[in-house]
A and B are shown apart, each in its own frame.
Chain A
Amino acid sequence: MKEKIAQVKEQFNSEIELVRTEQELENVRVKFLARKGLIAELFDSLKIVPAGERPQLGKSLNELRTFAQSAFEECKKGLGSLGRATTARSMDLSYPGRKRWIGSKHPITQTMEEIVRNFSSMGFVVALGPEIEDDYHNFEALNFPPDHPARDLQDTFFVSGDILLRTHTSPGQIHVMEREKPPVRVIIPGRVYRNEAISARSYCVFHQVEGLYVDTAVSFSELKGTLVAFSRQLFGRNTKYRFRPGYFPFTEPSAEMDISCFICSGRGCRVCKQTGWLEILGCGMVHPNVYKFVGYDEDNYTGYAFGMGIERIAMLRYGIDDIRIFFENDVRFLSQF
């Protein structure tokens, strides 16, 4: 009797699974749930089992009936929502196909990869450096002497003693030059930290890409050429540019590079603060003091370095006006990229 109940359940399951039309569903109902259906038959045969087993079996039979009843209702509802179309289901090709989930790479990753790819094509090799840095690499060897006001430009998170979270990817330059003799031509992507108030424009964690090229007879003129080629690849062939004097302790001469605002085509808008220009990176010729720290001969070598913020470039490219959205990771945002 017990086996019989299981068997009917299995049979019911396999048949209701195959139902495609209302007619088929009706057939299942008649076969199992009708007054003379299989389940009713089982209830009838309860009479012939020994009295001791009867309560137990009755219980499982009731469960079977409830189960079958609800499965039937479920299926009926399903059919109802499909409406008339069910009868010709295989023919209506306007039904959606079976899709898969769509994934995405984070916009910061995408921007970073594009920038790195861009410089790789110009012969730059990727190098990496630690995020937990010491004062020497983050500041001193980059010509920020202790007690120098330039240190105020970068609010620092300290970990212990002279250990800190790097405030820029520039210490990567020092690591590379300590490791290798010139010529070096590297690009250093990575995460950096600044202890600044969080706002739409600044977040305590962000990403940068640093570039360094040291060789014989590398000039500011070549630096300009490399960065113009880069910005045209990234922002379009007709991008206008300008270099204006800037200040970074580890480069001299130093410059800020602006490109023509691609939102207003240089006419002036909110994003470029009516200037027609967008600041995209800082750069300059490696300061001879830096060569002293890494043991390069400052008379034989010249070189350039540059650095840019990934979030800033991504914000400009995608028209994002709040940096925090990158770190919120709302799927409705992520799936737009």
Chain B
Amino acid sequence: MKISLHWLKDYVDLSGQPEEIAERLTMAGLEVENIEKAGDKYKNFVVGEVLEVTNHPNAEKLTVCKVNSGKAVLKIVCGAPNVSTGQKVVVGLVGAIVPRNQHRSDSTPLVLGQAEIRGETSEGMICSEYELDIGEDSEGILVLEKRARVGTPFARYLGLEDTVLDVAVTPNRPDCLSHIGVAREVAAFLRKKVKVPHIQGKEIREHVSKAARVTIETKVDCPRYSARVVRDVQLGDSPVWMQQRLRAIGIRPINNVVDITNYVVMELGIPLHAFDYDKLAGHRIVVRRAHDDKRFTTLDGAVRELHEDMLLICDRDKPVAIAGVMGGLNTEISDTTRNVLIEGAYFNPTSIRRTSKNLAIMTEASQRFERGVDPNMTVFAVERAAQLMGKIARGRVLKGVIDQCSKKFVARKVLVRVGKVNEVLGTSLSKKEITESLSRLEILRTRSKVSREQDAGLLFSVPTFRPDLEKEIDLIEEIGRTYGYDRIETKMRGHIRFSERTSELPLEDKLREWLASDGFNEVVANSMQEKSFAALSSEDYVEMLNPISKEMGALRTSLLPGLLEIAAHNFNHGTKNLRLFEIGKVYFCRESSDKRSRKDYEEEDRLLLAISGEAAPTHWDVPTRLADIFDLKGEFETLFSKIFLDKVKFIYYPNSKTLTDPTVGVEINKTYMGLLGRVNEQAKRLFDIKQDVFVGELSLEVLRGNITTASRYLSLPKYPSVTRDLAFVVNEDVSAEELRDAVREGGGDLVQSVELFDVYVGDKIGSGKKSMAFAVQLMSRHHTLTDEEIEDRIDQIVSVVASRFQARLRAL
């Protein structure tokens, strides 16, 4: 809501700088987002007089003028054909910013400086109305009337001395969508009185009840409808003061009748509508729901599709307005309008909100109605408008007001307990202080007829312009607000509960810590992505009904597509070596097993690692090596060791649906945990990636479920261990994992570790064969192993391996 300070001064005595007033309002809860001084636009523009015009020595179309700016006589080069001696003109001084630049189409602001134009110095600029942004004529300079005083700032000449505050009004304060409402707040905080406009005007003898009739068919949707009729208005421009005020707060003046209704809306916060009385068939107003009316043309010329429940204002024959939202084209004020019916009503907020949402139009009127206007102000508002129409548009105001009111709107009574006030605020306010602070907001104490018990509380009467104040707690806020939040003690001690350790976050925290210290950069990606990516999952994805764009139509079912986008971005910006991780959620939608209930939505935590580019930072002594799938696998293995997971299995996993090839499945205790692999060619093309990327994605839920947190200390071994190297020649298709398992099995309980340390494929062992060498560590926790025991175990290992894989031992 834009508030003009000039205008505000009609209702409350204001002193102090605009900045101070803005600060007051902000601290009262009406946040001032911007202070706009109308004159700022014309800083350094003054009224000047052309003293002399001579031809420019070096340019045919230019003149050199001597201009009195009040303070000095300036030499200005001018290109306008209409410049001549004796004219009063607008001079832009050095430092002025020309509002519109007619010489450059790209709208770069032109800052005036001392310039040299074809060899002649120019100390300013004589402006056109285009340049000043007050008209479209850019051919010649703007010539002012003769009586304009030389040296007057142009803003003052235009009467632009107002300051406009842009106030962010919260939805609970419809009363502050008006100057009078803001004035009330200012008055409360400056401890001043509000001056309500005085209604006084001549009425003619004809009574309004003879001229028009109002019928309300749905009293729930329209509890009150007030109207006045004004005859013989003289349509024309509004007076300058009204135009200036409307312009200042961003409303375009149209004609005096329309301007008056707009003016009263902005003054009192009660939306008004002016109908062309002669176009109302039967001079009747009927308030009813749309029923069978399907279409209606509003005054902006748009054809609106109606819903049967929408509230309409109709005359005897037809709809003339969508109630509380917008008037109709058929009864709009036009050049031929002579007589006017002014409507001021109170509509049910919910009904207006539904209509406005349904039609997707929000107007000054609908905004106020849906938040709740003061039902007891409708009569006052139409009277005010009628008064202004009488005065400004020289209309003849009919006697009396039509006021159809099906319900009495009485001030709400709210009980406030002193103890509760102080408990909630942490204050120790007395009855008197409470009463005083509320009275500043026109919330007055009333005598309660109930008992005078100790904590019976104080009864207050809430004015009807404050629909937001319903309960005790609402008044407690008002007490806190007027008392001042800053005056409430900032209590630096409080009760503290001892917190329990939560089990949910720590694993993620640890993983982030480890991965970051392991050289991975954490990424945080958008969880909304294209449907086609989400559809890669075998489970149903979650789709938004109103997505922001096609690229964000669904919630992700995997962290991988988001990561590939990030990888592509980085590759395109010159970062070729990537080590990235993300811990984030994926989302699924499942048919509920319970048929009656809606679908089940599931959110699952995932961990994603990605590696691309070089395996290690460039070093002069180490040959560069590109990362491969074993770098990634190693990262996962290291991670698993860190959290003591040893039941993990990696399984080759041919699956055409994945974005990777080859793909390795990861299982823990036979539960599927995720995948790792190299991003396949198709996916690389899709994301426009040229280099290899290795990725792995695991379910954190599964990981979490398999961690044994209580790790008990194991005493250190007292006896030495022995390590033997064994190399086996086996068929190519025997996997290292199978072979290692066989070695472990053969070695039994003495085996401490089995590490693969060499693989050889070559002519020496024949084609179709490979050799794998393991370091086998043997140890007993009970005694030092004897040579016989060791040889015995080694023999067992060899025999298990030999019989299972037709392997032979290779001499090392």
In the complex, the answer to whether A220 meets B480 with C-beta atoms within 8 Å is yes
CB contacts (< 8 Å) of A334 on chain B: these are 521-523
Q: Is the CB of B526 within 8 A of A205?
A: yes
A246 at the interface (CB under 8 A from B): yes
- A126–B573 CB distance below 8 A: no
Interface string of B539-561 (1 = CB under 8 A from A): 00011111110001001000000
- Asked if A13 lies at the interface with its beta carbon under 8 angstroms from chain B, I say no
Chain A CB within 10 Å, residue with most, of B27, B477, B480: B477
Chain B residues numbered 455-513 whose CB sits less than 8 Å from any CB in chain A: 471, 473-474, 476-477, 480-481, 485-486, 488-500, 502, 504-505, 509, 512-513
Chain A residues with Cβ below 8 Å from B603 are 130-132
Check B170 for interface membership: any CB of A closer than 8 A.
yes
Check B218 for interface membership: any CB of A closer than 8 A. no
B30 nearest in chain A by CB position: A245
CB of B58 within 8 Å of the partner chain: no
Chain A residue, CB-CB nearest to B513:
A105
**Which of B70-78, B379-387, B615-623, B683-691 has 4 or more CB atoms under 8 Å from chain A?**
B615-623
A-B contact count (CB 8 A): 247
Least Cβ–Cβ distance between A162 and chain B, in angstroms? 8
Q: Does B425 contact A (CB under 8 A)?
A: yes
Annotate A79-104 by CB proximity to B: 1 below 8 A, 0 otherwise: 00010000000000001101111111
Contacts of A158 in B (CB 8 A): 544-546
Residues of B within 8 Å of A59, CB to CB, are none
B43 within 8 A of A: no
Are A288 and B473 touching (Cβ within 8 A)?
yes
Q: Determine if A287 is an interface residue (Cβ-Cβ < 8 Å).
A: yes
For residue A236, CB closer than 8 A to chain B, the reply is no
Contact flag A224-B524 (CB < 8 Å), given A120-B499, A244-B31: no
Whether A224 lies near B490 (C-beta < 8 A) is yes
B19 CB, nearest partner CB in chain A, Å: 9
B491 and A105: CB pair below 8 A? no
The digit string for B241-255, where 1 denotes a CB below 8 A from any CB of A, is: 000000000000000
Q: How far does the alpha carbon of A228 sit from the alpha carbon of B575 in the complex, in Å?
A: 42
Neighbouring A residues of B473 by C-beta, 8 Å: 252-253, 285, 287-288
Q: Does B599 touch A at the CB level, under 8 Å?
A: yes
* Chain A contact patch, size range: 35 or more
Q: B354: CB under 8 A from chain A?
A: yes
In the complex formed, the residue of B with least CB distance to A224 is: B490
- State whether the Cβ of A296 lies closer than 8 Å to any Cβ in chain B: no
Please name all residues of chain A whose beta carbon is closer than 8 Å to the beta carbon of B350 when the two chains form the complex: 147
B426 within 8 A of A: yes
A226 within 8 A of B: yes
Contact A222 B601, beta carbon cutoff 8 Å: no
Interface residue? B37 (CB, 8 A):
no
Contacts of B489 in A (CB 8 A): 221, 224
A98 to B619, CA, bound (A): 6
Residue A163 at the chain B interface, CB threshold 8 Å: yes
Whether the Cβ atoms of A247 and B170 lie closer than 8 Å is: yes
Residues of B within 8 Å of A253, CB to CB, are 424-425, 473, 476-477, 480-481, 485
> Quick check: is B430 within 8 A (CB to CB) of the other chain?
no
Taking a contact as CB atoms closer than 8 A, the residue among B491, B499, B555 that contacts A125 in the complex is B499
Could you tell me the distance between the alpha carbons of A220 and B423 in the complex, rounded to whole angstroms?
9
Q: Decide if B66 is an interface residue (CB 8 Å cutoff).
A: no
Question: CB within 8 A of B26: which of A103, A224, A244?
Answer: A244
Complex interface: chain B residues within 8 A of A225 (CB)? 490-494
**Of A123, A165, A255, which one neighbours B485 at CB under 8 angstroms?**
A255
Asked, given contacts A131-B587, A222-B426, A245-B481, whether A228 binds B492 with beta carbons under 8 Å apart, the answer is: yes
In Å, the complex CA distance between A128 and B762 comes to 57
Give A132's nearest chain B residue, CB to CB: B601
- Distance in Å: Cβ of B4 to nearest Cβ of chain A: 21
A217 adjacent to chain B (CB < 8 Å): yes
| A294 adjacent to chain B (CB < 8 Å) | no
- Smallest CB–CB gap between A219 and chain B, Å? 3
| Closest CB in chain B relative to A109 CB, distance in Å | 6
Q: How far apart sit A111 and B332, CA to CA, in the bound complex (Å)?
A: 57
Name the contact of A102 in the complex, choosing from B427, B519, B523, B544 (C-beta under 8 A).
Answer: B519
Q: Residues of B contacting A204 with CB < 8 Å? A: 526, 528, 548, 552
Q: How far is the CB of B547 from chain A (nearest CB, A)?
A: 7
Contact of A122 among B172, B496, B519, B546 (CB under 8 A): B496
Q: Does A124 contact B (CB under 8 A)?
A: yes
- Taking A104-B516, A246-B29, A329-B566 as contacts, is the C-beta distance between A221 and B481 under 8 angstroms? no
A247 and B172 in contact, given A159-B544, A163-B601, A254-B477 (Cβ under 8 angstroms):
yes
CB-defined contacts of A193 to chain B, threshold 8 Å: 528
Residues of A within 8 A of B709 (CB): none
User: Could you mark each residue 603-634 of chain B with 1 if its beta carbon is under 8 Å from any beta carbon of chain A, else 0?
Assistant: 10000000000001101111000000000000
Q: Are A285 and B521 in contact (CB under 8 A)?
A: no
- Residues on B with C-beta less than 8 A from A101 are 518-520, 577, 579, 616-617
Is B570 located at the chain interface by the 8 A CB criterion?
yes
Q: In whole angstroms, what is the CA distance A247 to B173 when docked?
A: 9
A14 within 8 A of B: no
Whole-angstrom distance between the alpha carbons of A276 and B546 in the complex? 39
**With A and B bound together, what is the CA distance between A327 and B527 in angstroms?**
10
Min distance, Cβ A138 to any Cβ of chain B, angstroms: 13
| A126 and B509 contact, Cβ closer than 8 Å, known pairs A103-B515, A158-B544, A221-B427 | no
Contact status A330-B573, CB under 8 Å: yes
Q: Does B569 contact A (CB under 8 A)?
A: yes
Closest-by-CB residue of A relative to B622 is A98
B371 at the interface (CB under 8 A from A): yes
Within 8 A of B (CB), among A20-41: none
For residue A233, which residues in chain B have a CB less than 8 angstroms away from its CB? none
| Bound: A26/B114 CA distance, A | 75
- Which residue in chain A gives the minimum CB-CB distance to B545? A158
Find out whether the CB atom of B491 lies under 8 angstroms from the CB atom of A104: no
Residue with the highest number of chain A CB atoms closer than 10 Å, among B31, B488, B494: B494
A302-B424 contact given A252-B477, A253-B480, A255-B485, CB 8 Å threshold: yes
Given A150-B171, A330-B569, A126 and B516 touching (CB < 8 A)?
no
B28 at the interface (CB under 8 A from A): yes
A195 touches B (CB below 8 Å): yes
User: With the chains together, A83 CA to B585 CA distance in Å?
Assistant: 53
Decide if A229 is an interface residue (CB 8 Å cutoff): yes
The interface residues of chain B lying within 8 Å CB-to-CB of A99 are 617, 619
The answer to whether B516 and A329 have CB atoms under 8 Å apart is: no
Q: Does A1 reach chain B (CB closer than 8 Å)?
A: no
Check B775 for interface membership: any CB of A closer than 8 A.
no
- Digit string of A192-222 for contact with B (CB within 8 Å is 1, else 0)? 0101001000001100000000010111111
A250 to chain B, nearest CB (A): 12
A220-B579 contact, Cβ under 8 Å, with A160-B545, A160-B599: no
* Bound: A252/B421 CA distance, A: 12
CB neighbours (8 Å) of A198 from chain B are 548
Q: When the two chains form their complex, are residues A104 and B524 in contact, meaning their CB atoms are under 8 A apart?
A: no
Roughly how many angstroms separate A217 CA and B495 CA in the complex, as a whole number?
Answer: 10
Kindly state the separation between the CA atoms of A242 and B170 in the bound complex, as whole angstroms.
19
Chain A residues in 8 Å Cβ range of B548: 157, 195, 198, 204
Verify B423–A219 contact, CB threshold 8 A: yes
Beyond A198-B548, A244-B31, list 14 extra A-B contacts (CB 8 Å). A101-B616, A103-B579, A108-B524, A125-B499, A126-B502, A130-B603, A131-B585, A131-B603, A147-B353, A157-B547, A160-B598, A195-B546, A221-B426, A328-B569
State the 5 A-B residue pairs at the shortest beta-carbon distance, nearest first: A221-B426, A101-B519, A245-B29, A219-B426, A247-B170
A-B contact pairs, 19 of them (CB 8 A): A95-B620, A105-B522, A123-B496, A159-B542, A185-B496, A198-B548, A204-B548, A205-B526, A219-B424, A221-B491, A224-B488, A242-B486, A244-B29, A244-B31, A252-B476, A253-B473, A329-B523, A329-B524, A330-B570
Which residues of A are in contact with B by a Cβ distance under 8 Å? 2-3, 6, 82, 95-96, 98-106, 108-109, 113, 120, 122-128, 130-132, 147-150, 152-153, 157-161, 163, 165, 183, 185, 191, 193, 195, 198, 204-205, 215, 217-222, 224-226, 228-229, 242-247, 249, 252-256, 285, 287-288, 302, 326-332, 334-335
